[in-house]
Amino acid sequence: MSAKRRLNILVTGGAGFVGSHLCDALLAAGHHVTCLESFLTGSRANIAPLLNHPRFALVEGDVCTPYAHEERLDRIYNLACAASPARYQADPIHTMMTCVNGAANMLALAETHGARFLQASTSEVYGDPEQHPQHEDYHGNVSCTGPRACYDEGKRAAETLCFDMQRQGRVDARVARIFNTYGPRMQRDDGRIVSNLIVQALSGRDLTIHGTGRQTRSFCFVSDLVLGLQQLMELEPNPVQPVNLGNPDEYEILDLAEQVLDMTGSPSGLVFRPLPEDDPRRRRPDISAARRLLGWQPEVPLHEGLGATIAHFRMQLDVATPRPVPPQPPRRRAEQPDDPWIQHQGAAE
């Protein structure tokens, strides 16, 4: 890459699951990358191979604190924030401040440098959606007082800041609404459904299913997401709208659990627990805007992505690949909980 096209890029949350993969991709493209990381949820192991890279720099800091960067910045990817319910609910006030004050600080930095800005938003802005699949013009069904509001409403407010500054001509801001993403470098205790099920299966524990397991999610492999983020950042002209990035293939949680059990060779069973408050019942992105604007769609099928993710957790947990096992009797399933939604779904079907 020529020096003229080499960009100076700041990635906040760059030691996180998605952020570290993005740093890898940007360095591979020949750019200079600065990672701004608080390590509240990010991992040093994710960026350890980059610390001696001549075009990579690590700055420890929190986006809630204003940040001054000496060299010119051309691009800012704002990925800083805990993304799993267990992590963002552990300190909900800080989560809200990270979403709102963090975005405000990074937008101010982008304005100072004349840098293009990308906000990592989330499918959680749709809440427990009444529209299916979810299109960008859907305003969502979000509780502003529930236990997930610190993240859901925080991300919605961050989007508002981006579009207000865009309308005022102060920043070239783009917003990616990221749906469930998985892959290597997820943390074993992050509380996300893919990591939970894989770690439980590899550890020989029963897999925890909330509600009936009939709720749905759509799983995008991290390499597909990272490509979409880069394409949205470089899109000309600015689309002046949020863009969904996710995999439109929809799976029931029970289907995911069965795939994990089959691929790990685990004899574990399933145990059912009550559905958490405000947990979305259906989640599937409409990615027609991403296809039209970016020419983007996910390429990695779930089976292939799960294989890579299981291999990652085998290494983390130091679990050997199991030998083939003879056919097993039907897996045991604990009695399903009394749940009003279960009765409602049964009647609807």
Would you please indicate which residues are annotated as catalytic (active-site) residues?
A: 151
Two structure tokens written together for 13? 């949350």
Reduced to 3 states (helix: H, G, I; strand: E, B; else coil), residue 162 is helix
Residue 142 to residue 52: CA distance in whole angstroms: 44
Comparing CA positions, the residue from 242, 330, 244, 318 lying closest to residue 287 is 244
Question: Residue 13's Cα: distance from chain center in Å?
Answer: 12
List residues bridging with 78 in a β-sheet: 12, 119
* Whole-angstrom distance, CA of residue 275 vs CA of residue 289: 32
Query: In whole angstroms, what is the distance from residue 81 CA to residue 94 CA?
Result: 9
| Cα–Cα distance, 308 to 54 (Å, whole number) | 29
| 325, 267 contact by CB (below 8 A) | yes
